A and B are shown apart, each in its own frame.
Chain A
Amino acid sequence: MPSLISPAERDYILKGIECNIRADGRQRSDFREITLETSVVSQTSGSARVRIAGGSDVLISVKAEIGPVQVDPETGDGADKGQIICSIECAPSASQQFEGRGADDLNNELTQMMSRFLCSNNTAISSLSPTCSGSGGIDLSKLCIIPGQQCWILFVDALVLDYGGNLMDAIFMGVRAAIYDTKIPKTEVQDLGDGQFEFEVLDDEEDIDFVHGREDMPICITLNKIGTRHIVDATLLEELCTEAKLVVAVNRAGEICGLQKNHDGSIEPSLLLEMIQVGKTMGQALIKNLDAKIKEEAESDLTKRLQGDPARKLGFFAQ
């Protein structure tokens, strides 16, 4: 796959975008087909795999572990909250440019972007930890087990298996699906008196909690500015022609949860505001479709389980 592009191809793609016929026949606001499957990895609390046809393939896993609370020494904040720690890694097998340390910068950029969008305030950054002390809609206080002592820590790990453009959108869709799918065991807390607590994690498979606030998690839409227009869901070649990329994180209610510009170009202010609006409308429509799919899958899994059939997951080689 090329990381180079010829001036003639660049010009062809640019003019094509101007008359709304992209190189593969899509229009500027068309997405490619997306394949989504949840609960693909057995060792996790929740997982999802998202594959964009002919494009990127990402695998998201959410593991819930128990750990000490992180208290901000200055404000005393965090004693009654759980944590979310994100990490994104591009597997060296995903693309030739990722071998060795090549993916380091990209990994870091994506991880920081995800941490920022899943937090709703910046104190995480000033206190240096990569954890989210706010919430991307997720109610962290419900993740606390014993205030001041123990809480649930959700490790959200994304692995990029194939790089074909439009990585951020795929990752966020997967994270939303994986968190929707995450099952956290219930805990029973016993008060031993004197401020001492003991807790026990219930073993019953049916006794689980879903993550509170998972419907309010944001997804993101990446808008690529090429020439004077912008497109969504760019292929690799289109990404090479991009002057500036704007990532808009939107939640179900239409609130913008984050905004970040990438690449070396500049955007005119009125175009920026227009792109934000476009991102917001598209994001809301995308969330609707995505939620419908996730719910459908969750329901079919549930009916299969109640009937005693194990839910058959197709995993990696299915189209």
Chain B
Amino acid sequence: MKIRIKFTKTGRLRFIGHLDVMRYFQKLMRRAGVDIRYSEGFSPHQIMSFAQPLGLGDTSEGEYVDIDVLSTASSEEMIRRLNEAGKEEIRILKYVKIADETRRSNAMSNVAAADYRVYFRGGLPDSNMLAAFFAQENIPVSKKTKTKEEIVDIRPLIYDWGLEEEGLFLRLSAGSAANLKPDTVMEAWNAFSQKEGQAAEAGHSEGGTQSFPYHFHRLELYARREGQLIPLYALGEEIKEESAE
């Protein structure tokens, strides 16, 4: 049986890397007594797959991992057990059973989009200029790979944006087909705002934060179903007490 788990990564734990998160979950499964399925072979490992690694230092309330279990208690009970054995900075929010049709695909290959909130360490940018930035028909950025450098237009990959009280909301294309990282958007914004003659405020703020002007917070990951974006957890269903195996 396939289970999808949604969790947060906040506070001091945003300074642990993606591989550390994987190791964290491997140990958490044992401490919480999750009846996880192991691979065959000499050194069996847990069947576990993570969606979309988060950058070191970024926070999230929309992280996902899929696991295979042999048996399970109800969603409520499993969330309780996992949170009891885990750290408060990695909170388990959802524990759902994935329907059979999505069984073959894992959390990673489901991902189509992601929501972010960008916090500005040096204060919010000018809203008119931001609007002008997103109003562009094309936003070309240069993308370096190991062998070549090419120009890619990222504008079509920005699905939505909005300036909120706390920061900038972004909905970006994500996943294996066309992944756009929020860092790339903000680099383009930096270039744009500087070209417009006004240096990005964040770049000149007090407190020596120039090298890291933004803090990215992931809000949700989405899959696409019949043209609609739906949160990854919504592809699964809650396990009620009576149906627990």
Do chains A and B interact in one complex?
A: no
